[in-house]
Amino acid sequence: MQGIRPIRDDEFKKFRQLIYEVAGISMAPQKKMLVASRLARRLSHYQLSTYSEYFELANSPQYPGEFQVMIDSLTTNETYFFREPQHFDFLEQTILPQWKGQQFRIWSAASSSGEEVYTLAMKLAEFFAHKQWEVVGSDISSRMLESCRRAVYPMTRLQHMPDYYLKKYCLKGVREQQGMILIDRSLRQQCRFLSLNLMENLPDIGMFDTIFIRNVMIYFDQDTKKDLIKRITRVLKPGGYLIISHSETLHGLSDQYKMIKPSIYQRKLT
């Protein structure tokens, strides 16, 4: 069996078009080697020598689960707890104190492996000792959702977590689980995870007081961003907050928001 041949431009174009159609992600030409490296393990698994062969296999009804594996491989991004901490400070210091209602609901719209979801859960658990709350996490990757529900993480993902939260909400692994932590059950029970493709019409997931959708739009072109914000806005309560990453903006995408500060927007009441 010969080794894997380098990915050709026409092969990369096939994967690039597919990921745009399925996930709305616009891959720049310089991402060719990233695609090749992420898929190389799957080619080795099936003992294939070309990326065209793998493309055909992943789209074949004979391998019904491989298409999702391919999508997972191309869309997964590593994250960590308390990433961009100013957003969690704003949640704690501004959003939560002014909120009034029966149940506070927050959506992590691209939850990846779950670190953002459980960071939000820690903040809500501290603030709402006697009120109802829920964190909903969603992702296109079934593998990432399994990681979310498992809630087991390497200690390296906790470098930015304050000791208070680490001691209160994380259980350190022993023996074969040494170097890992498990999120406390009290938090896991308050979090729900859904398989969602943000490029499609959203199912009935209810209305939210705050939505986090960070480091997502950086992969999309302008028209895809506009469509995404329209879908997101339909499930954000008037007066609710939309949190994006510091490298993103809503400028030119929607007139239904006012900017509170860079990367933090509030949906207008009318």
Q: Is 227 a catalytic residue?
A: no
- At residue 183, φ and ψ (nearest 5 deg) are -70, 135
Angle between helix 32-45 and 9-23 (nearest 10): 90
Q: Is 209 a catalytic residue?
A: no
Residue 38: partners with Cβ closer than 8 Å, 6 or more residues away: 73, 74
Given CA atoms 97, 99, 104, 107 in this order, what sign does their dihedral have?
Answer: negative
Long-range own/partner contacts, residues 10-17 (CB < 8 A, 24 or more apart): 11/50, 11/51, 11/52, 11/55, 12/36, 12/51, 14/52, 14/55, 15/39, 15/51, 15/55, 15/74
Cα separation, 240 vs 265, whole angstroms: 9
Q: Which amino acid is at 113?
A: S
Q: Which residue has the tokens 């896991």?
A: 188
How many CB atoms are closer than 10 A to CB 110? 24
Catalytic residue (choose from 38, 143, 192, 231): 38
Q: Which two tokens stand for residue 157?
A: 């993902």
Strand 103-108 vs strand 208-212: parallel, antiparallel, or unpaired?
parallel
Q: Which two tokens stand for residue 257?
A: 């928001």
Catalytic residue (choose from 16, 72, 105, 139): 139
The residues annotated as belonging to the active site are 38, 139
